[in-house]
Amino acid sequence: MRKFLSIFAALALLLSLCACGDRPAESEPEGLQIVTSVFPAYDFARQIAGERANVTLLLPPGAEIHSFEPTARDMIRIRNAALFVYNGGESEAWVEELLESGEEIRSLSMLDCVDALEEEVREGMQKSAAEEEEDGPEYDEHVWTSPKNALRICEAICGALCEIDPEGESFYRENLHAYSAELEALDQSFREIVENGRFRTVIFADRFPVRYFVEEYGLNYFAAFPGCAEETEPSARTVAFLIDRVREEGLPAVFYIEFSNEKMADEICEDTGCKKLLFHSCHNVSADELRNDATYLELMRHNAEALKEALG
């Protein structure tokens, strides 16, 4: 990875030198530059910064952060940004290498803004051989799935922007105040749905990237894989276990997550007669969603409707 970063540094220097040649380099937008690694960071930053900043999302639409590798231009953007907001954790090990390389980069890790939970392997959950051999705790990285955590992250972004751009402090704090009210309303809607539901168990026929969410609202869960699992093809034993849970609990629905092939959910639904529902982890969005200006709040409100149906 250090060799990887050295190559990027050399490429960055070469690109900057090219700007002095006959052909002008592509110019960056004017104003405060904020670079983000994943969609929640991107959306939170633009809600707080508003028109006082240009916010860039590095992760391409539909891509997984677990397999993402930054380009030379990405590295230049990070180096030139007033603020770099990233998630943190094993999926973004390249960021830690970058920050330890001596570069002066103003950064904020969303994982550091909350009380991190260790990734959990529940009964019936399938792990790969590589995951079984890992030493030490691995933290669940999907911290934003709890609206309360989303608020903590937004508060940290606001604080960082106020330090970087003191003249805009009142503007940032007004945006935070307005956005906080919407996050509080979202949180309250989830609490009412859980309180009024007939069931307290959710089943994910997929990876499980919403542990912070179920912990926040006191839900029990079963799933095929941990949130950051490399594998997505379940064993027959895993599928059978989840089918048994659906039947025993009498659940009306199972969940799948965005960009899933949905095969496991289809198999369970065919066998039990339950319905499959999308629960969007908000880790990333599709090209159409990005083009249509999807937001964290919008996606989570769809999740609220799905949860209401799943809890009966």
Residue 249 domain flag? yes
The pLDDT value given to residue 81: 97
77, 51: one domain: yes
Last residue of a domain, one of 150, 182, 214: 182
18, 95: one domain: yes
Contacts within 8 Å (CB) and 24+ apart, 152-156: 152/113, 152/114, 153/40, 153/41, 153/44, 153/110, 153/113, 153/114, 154/44, 154/47, 154/48, 154/179, 154/180, 154/183, 155/113, 156/108, 156/110, 156/113
**Distance set, CA 16 to CA 7, 22, 26 (Å):** 14, 13, 10
Which has more confidence, 6 or 87?
A: 87
The pLDDT value given to residue 1: 46
130 backbone dihedrals φ, ψ, rounded to 5°: -65, -40
The pLDDT value given to residue 227: 75
Tokens 């309180």 locate to 195
pLDDT tens-place string over residues 61-100: 999 888 899 999 999 999 999 999 999 988 898 998 898 8
Residue 192 domain flag? no
% of residues, the chain, pLDDT over 90: 74
Which of 18-22, 60-64, 92-96, 144-148 is most confident? Answer: 144-148
The pLDDT value given to residue 232: 67
**Average pLDDT over the chain, rounded to whole?**
89
- pLDDT over 50 at 9, yes or no: no
Residue 130 domain flag? no
90, 205: one domain: no
- pLDDT over 90 at 284, yes or no: yes
% of residues, the chain, pLDDT over 70: 86
CA atoms within 13 A on the CB side of 13: 5
148, 12: one domain: yes
177, 237: one domain: no
Closest CA to 208 of 114, 283, 135, 300: 283
CATH number of the domain to which 303 belongs:
3.40.50.1980
Which has more confidence, 269 or 124?
A: 269
pLDDT tens-place string over residues 206-219: 999 999 999 999 99
Residue 222 domain flag? yes
Residue 217 domain flag? yes
- Domain assignment of residue 92, given as a range: 2-121+142-182
Between CA 73 and CA 92 the distance in angstroms is 17
Residue 168 domain flag? yes
Mean pLDDT of 147-167: 98
- pLDDT over 70 at 264, yes or no: yes
The pLDDT value given to residue 132: 55
209, 291: one domain: yes
177, 49: one domain: yes
The pLDDT value given to residue 2: 44
Tell me the chain's radius of gyration from C-alpha atoms.
21
28, 165: one domain: yes
Residue 128 domain flag? no
pLDDT tens-place string over residues 223-236: 999 877 666 688 99
Which stretch of 36-50, 222-236, 267-281 has the lowest confidence by average pLDDT?
222-236
Distant-in-sequence, close-in-space partners of 307: CB < 8 Å, separation ≥ 6: 190, 193, 194, 197, 202, 279
Give me the number of domains the chain comprises: 2
Between CA 288 and CA 294 the distance in angstroms is 9
| pLDDT tier for residue 22 given thresholds of 50, 70 and 90 | very low
150, 36: one domain: yes
Between CA 262 and CA 234 the distance in angstroms is 12
The pLDDT value given to residue 144: 98
Helix (H, G, I), strand (E, B) or coil at 133: coil
- pLDDT over 70 at 101, yes or no: yes
84, 226: one domain: no
- pLDDT over 70 at 308, yes or no: yes
172, 301: one domain: no
The pLDDT value given to residue 296: 98
Closest CA to 262 of 275, 250, 252, 247: 275
